[in-house]
Chains A and B, each alone.
Chain A
Amino acid sequence: MQIAEPLQLAIDELSKLPSIGKKSALRLALHLLKSDKENVDNLVNAISDLKTKIQFCKNCFNISVDDLCSVCENPKRDRSMICVVEEASDIISIEKTNEYRGLYHVLGGVLSPLSGKSADNLNINELVKRVEKGSIKEIIIATNPDTEGETTSLYIFKLLKPFNLKVTRLARGLPIGGDLEFADDATIGRAVLGRIELL
């Protein structure tokens, strides 16, 4: 069947989004077609505002409305600590915990020669520059515990060594409230190796 061209166009664009296939795209497009004009306009505006109103924080590369993001601008944050993350979405995960009061630094990826990512493509030099300013006492590296994340943390550690700071790495181990029974062997194995002294 021939699909009306504007509809086909909408389906094609929607199906470019991650985890949306042709069928879901068709369902979304038909849903939008049936919705009130106001709802559709709101969606369109929200999407276009993403590109016009959002930028990356000049200091830490977090997602931001202004030059500086809400974390960097907040006077109550501890300015002697930087938590280094791969993507801005990781900040959201850590912020949700309410356990961390320091600043962030978004790398924008990890070292991966196979996909052409080297240190120059990441915001690593910018991190060193922030450290050079001198007020930083501790760096927490919170890259993912996979091959690339671990190597990136090793690399950053090497770069920061001359500055004589405290450099830490997120602990890895068992999920809270999780059952030992259901954790995979590798995680339990790591947790045993990284056990903590109680007495």
Chain B
Amino acid sequence: MFLDKIELINFRLHKHTNLNFSENLNYIVGGNGQGKTTILEGIYYLCTTRNINQASDSDVVMFGENYFEINGVFKDLTQNKLKINFSLEANKKYLYLDNKQFYRASSVIGKFPVVTLTQSDHAITLGSPAERRKFIDSVIAQSSEVYLKTLIDYNKTLRQRSSLLSQIKESGNRSLLTQLDAWTDALVEAGTELVKRRKVFIEKFNEFIRESYFKVMENKEVPHIEYSFLDEDDPDKIGDVYKQAIAEMREQELRRATNLVGPHRDDFIFRINDNELKKFGSQGQHKTFQIALRFGEFFFLKEVLNKTPIFLMDDVFGELDVYRASKISRYLKEIGQAFITITDFSNLDYLHRSEDDYKLIVENGSVKYD
């Protein structure tokens, strides 16, 4: 699947931009603030109906206008037309697939899979465990609706349970403890399911990360993601170990009125040659790991969804040394369709470009082909 055309109307700096894309690599070149990333933003809207940075839809409307519109044509064996129209006045998005209106984002999610590599990926390797959980959860959820539902269930149970814990703390009413036990059972049931699926996923995902990392760094370095839940490796024992741990923490949970045990506190340890990335990694290793994660996500989704995602890469080359950048640019050839923003093309001679790649030059919201 690839995006053949896009039309952006009143979309940030783009008054009215019509673009045709290559099935392969599309380099989007221009200075800062000229509207490069906006093109990626538009593509992301088409694939997910949502904003790439969780910005609100009204922020995207060109200053002084009262709507924005994005039209796109995806080509696969068949052709799909997608239209997103946002009205500032109604503060509402109108979505159309092949001229037929639809109302829920979930009707297109998974239909046009997309993988992004942006500056904010720094947070995945450098930030808190929550960022790593968010990344891992989003990859698994894209490949399994059951996982997504279980995760939603689990989070809801967490909220209910913590509310009950506070009630017990405030009221001192110990008769509520039997109800707490029921919520604990529900938590352990959903939580165990999450842990098991995370374990299976990480095992498989490690192969993808190794492969991607290898393409960039050859075999100089070996990456690995480590995940263990309460030090238990046997999937059949996770439920029991979980139950026992939560029983041991009971008094502490009651005292602090919070959920202290479970996959919502998991961390995923990223390692390079057995050294913990977060503690010992250089800037370059962090960047390379982030890239390997996204390429890994790409090839993982391609395999499980049996569909080739679109790859969006925002201003990544600027941060890399020539060796890595050149390797990545070669690796991109294996991807299929990708959109790559670059601030300056002149000193990027090491990029492997071929005839069927497009180069789009963006200046103040208008686009030329080179």
Contacts and interface: CB of A to CB of B under 8 A. Distances in A.
Candidate in A112, A113, A154 with the most chain B CB atoms within 10 angstroms: A113
B148 to A, nearest CB: 8
Nearest to B181: A158
Interface stretch (A1-9, A14-22, A172-180, A183-191): A183-191
B152 to A, nearest CB: 8
Contact of A113 (B148, B163, B178): B163
Contacts of B159: 114
Given A147-B153, A147-B186, A111 B145 contact: no
Contacts, number: 60
A111 B181 CA distance: 12
Contacts of B149: 186
Nearest to A150: B186
Contacts of A148: 160
Nearest to B148: A186
B146 A147 contact: no
Interface in A100-130: 111-114, 118-119
B156 A147 contact: yes
Contacts of B128: none
Contacts of B163: 113-114
A152 B164 contact: no
Contacts of B153: 146-147
Interface residues of A, number: 21
A154 B188 CA distance: 12
B146 A151 contact: no
Nearest to A189: B146
A163 interface: no
A185 B145 contact: yes
B179 A147 contact: no
A114 B178 CA distance: 17
Nearest to A190: B146
Nearest to A124: B179
A3 B167 CA distance: 48
Contacts of A155: 178-179, 181-182
A147 B183 CA distance: 9
Given A119-B179, A151-B182, A158-B182, A186 B146 contact: yes
B179 A111 contact: yes
B233 interface: no
Given A113-B167, A186-B149, A147 B182 contact: no
Contacts of B144: 185
A190 B159 CA distance: 24
Interface string A139-168: 000000011101110110011000000000
B351 to A, nearest CB: 40
Contact of A184 (B145, B160, B182): B145
B105 to A, nearest CB: 15
Contacts of A189: 145-146
Given A158-B178, A159-B178, A151 B145 contact: no
Given A185-B144, A185-B146, A189-B145, A114 B182 contact: no
A111 B156 contact: no
Nearest to A112: B160
B185 interface: yes
B142 to A, nearest CB: 12
Contacts of B179: 111, 113, 118-119, 155
Interface string B124-167: 00000000000000000000111011000100110111011001
A195 to B, nearest CB: 15
Most chain-B CB neighbours within 10 Å: which of A146, A151, A190? Answer: A151
Given A112-B160, A189-B145, A154 B186 contact: yes
Contacts of A111: 160, 179, 182-183
B249 interface: no
Contacts of A146: 153
Given A147-B156, A158-B181, A113 B186 contact: no
A146 B145 CA distance: 16
Given A119-B178, A119-B179, A158-B182, 17 more contacts: A111-B179, A111-B182, A111-B183, A113-B161, A113-B183, A118-B164, A147-B160, A154-B182, A158-B181, A159-B178, A184-B145, A185-B144, A185-B145, A186-B145, A186-B149, A189-B145, A190-B146
30 contacts: A111-B160, A111-B182, A111-B183, A112-B160, A113-B160, A113-B161, A113-B164, A118-B164, A118-B167, A118-B176, A119-B178, A146-B153, A147-B156, A147-B186, A151-B157, A151-B183, A151-B186, A154-B182, A155-B179, A155-B181, A158-B181, A158-B182, A159-B178, A185-B145, A185-B146, A186-B145, A186-B148, A186-B149, A189-B145, A190-B146
Interface of B: 144-146, 148-149, 153, 156-157, 159-161, 163-164, 167, 176, 178-179, 181-183, 185-186, 190
